[in-house]
Amino acid sequence: MNITNDVVWLGFLGSLVAGSMTILGAAGVWFVRQLSESLEDTLLSAAAGVMLAASVFSLLLPGIEHAGSLGHSDSTSVLIVLAGMMLGATLLAVIYRYTPHEYFNSQLPGANPQALKRIWLFVLAITLHNFPEGMAVGVGYARGDIQNGLALTLGIGLQNIPEGLAVAVAVLAAGYTRIFAFLTATASGLIEPLGGLLGATLVSFSLPLLPWVLGGAAGAMLYIISNEIIPQTHSRGHASAATFSLLGGFSIMTYLDIVLG
Ligand SMILES: [Zn+2]
């Protein structure tokens, strides 16, 4: 086995572990019948805070550092990673544009609230965003930087717990069985290793691609935070709790990244 293969395997395994932590949250469906709106907004905001810090400390900054090690000037390094970030966000905007989709489970004013449809769109949104998340973890191992990869695995894995719980409880609340709710939430998390495999493979072909892919993975996550999670978690009157919960998630990931990474 050569280094390239090792990095791909590590990236895949790391994203598999992170994705599997969704199962811990999904298992909560046996203990909780319903989440209050404020608890749901708080949990999803904490997940967004983790994703935000992961974007900065585990993707953008390592991307800039790597571009520098390829011989680019500081200015060029930053611009490359930012361009990658814009591309990643644009790609996600295009994907969301052409996917039947709605802001998480927001009530559309005036629209006929079809609870079932809303819940499935929520499940779809969480599932979709797990793909770039997996890519982020997969790419995190790409330079053979295991500590950075571990910090990302742990951080992304942690924020998958509330996400898994939110999905499972939403499906249960729609009237499905507990086992079905559990399996649906688990499936949403297992998209993550697919993203991880793609990210790690892409980068193993070409190291100069790495700053672009790190920037791109950050852009995809930032897009979801700004376009989905923040509007959703601020739409039902829990804006202040959501903000502080986001800062709490941000603090946890910042700590993990600095101490482990
Ligand atoms: Zn997430």
Q: Ligand 1: distance of its center to the CA of 206 in Å? A: 27
Q: Ligand 1: distance of its center to the CA of 73 in Å? A: 33
Residue 114: pLDDT band by 50, 70, 90 thresholds?
A: low
Q: Ligand 1: distance of its center to the CA of 7 in Å? A: 23
Q: Ligand 1: distance of its center to the CA of 116 in Å? A: 22
| pLDDT tens figures, 67-101 | 998 899 999 999 999 999 999 999 888 877 776 65
Domain spans in the chain, listed from the N-terminal domain onward: 3-260
Q: Ligand 1: distance of its center to the CA of 51 in Å? A: 6
35: left (phi over 0), alpha (psi -120 to 50) or beta: beta
Q: Ligand 1: distance of its center to the CA of 162 in Å? A: 9
| pLDDT at 130 > cutoff 90 | no
User: CA separation (Å) from 250 to 20, 155, 159, 243?
Assistant: 21, 10, 11, 10
Based on the number of CB atoms within 10 Å of its own CB, is 112 exposed (0-12), middle (13-18) or buried (19 or more)? exposed
Q: Ligand 1: distance of its center to the CA of 50 in Å? A: 8
Do the beta carbons of residue 206 and residue 65 sit within 8 Å?
no
| pLDDT tens figures, 164-186 | 998 898 888 888 899 999 999 99
Q: Which residue has the tokens 């990869």?
A: 149
